[in-house]
Chain A
């Protein structure tokens, strides 16, 4: 892989991959580590990617999904997500960020922490990958209609949880 290709790829997808991992695992340090692992795997396997088989985003987020799954296999404990998600750093308002925004973000993370793993996986994919429902469907092995319905239900669930907080 050429350096300019790598740089472009990293810059283009870094934010989305980071968001995906953060929504899946919560913990900031783990997110950083997994994100770097994902890009390492991309570099390692880039030659094997075939545009004829899948869109690049689908291939990339399949790698991301596997990396997160590996992480969960190693570290999963009940409740660990919630504790990690609301760490001090995530809740602290930045200078550009008001206290209200920080509070909403904290509520969002708490709500994500209350979801089932497969719901969190869907939300993370939908709101980080920019993939269409049909592409997400292919990745998750369900129909596009099911993606739409599950997404809608999960969003309603997040909304309810956030309203209770």
Chain B
């Protein structure tokens, strides 16, 4: 085996000629067919996500035996529910907005139909510089997540029987995760944000006043606003939280 220093020398000895530079450029820029395949890849991914959800539902609906599956449900539910204005497009797709309102910083639209998730516009590759895609930062303590974010995200007390298991910071959004203390698979996530977002749903939206606060139920997600922050509650496993529990969560913020 060659010594590291000799390897270094070998790597630097030969200056690259023009053809080597061309080869590097070709490897970096050769058309791999990615853009032609983008819609198909996306469609396959959506099918796989949906299939996974259906499998879970067939097994007893949303009861997650492993906590690790939680993000799939959350992401897929959000992907089905939310058609972000920046990405969803529809060729010849006529969508009627039946109802529109805001819950804090989240615009909620009830529409007659959602676009086919596979009909996503091909996009240009991101420009040379990398966008700021920071992975979530995970924290054991709320205070650490708040300090890292520089935002005092107010998190409610845990539902009785549950305990906080961690906090993930996704730029301007805090995800607080809770798990049942004795029954595995009973978990819930609370997304707390103070930035603009948009939700579309084709399902009915139920509005209920709980603890003097307007609370919205849509596609299994419970939404409310408090103190300039919007709360999205995703629950998996066990009985759905009733209004008394929602009231307790809201009251604990005061």
Residues of A within 8 A of B (CB): 1-15, 18-19, 22-23, 28, 31-33, 35-37, 39-40, 43-51, 56, 59, 89-90, 94, 97, 101, 104-105, 108, 123, 126-127, 130, 143, 145-146, 148-149, 152, 155-156, 158-159, 162
Contacts and interface: CB of A to CB of B under 8 A. Distances in A.
B155 to A, nearest CB: 17
A39 B4 contact: no
A131 to B, nearest CB: 11
B30 A159 contact: no
B183 to A, nearest CB: 20
A36 B46 CA distance: 9
Contacts of A97: 31
Interface in B76-101: 76, 78-79, 82, 84, 86-87
A126 B23 CA distance: 13
B68 A145 contact: no
Interface of B: 4, 7-8, 10-11, 14, 19-20, 23-24, 26-28, 30-34, 37-38, 40-42, 44-45, 48-49, 52, 68-72, 74-76, 78-79, 82, 84, 86-87, 123, 125-126, 130-131, 133-138, 168, 170-171, 173, 177, 191, 197
Contact of B74 (A1, A9, A108): A1
B33 A89 contact: yes
B47 to A, nearest CB: 8
Interface of B is mostly: helix
A152 B9 CA distance: 12
Nearest to A93: B31
A143 B4 contact: yes
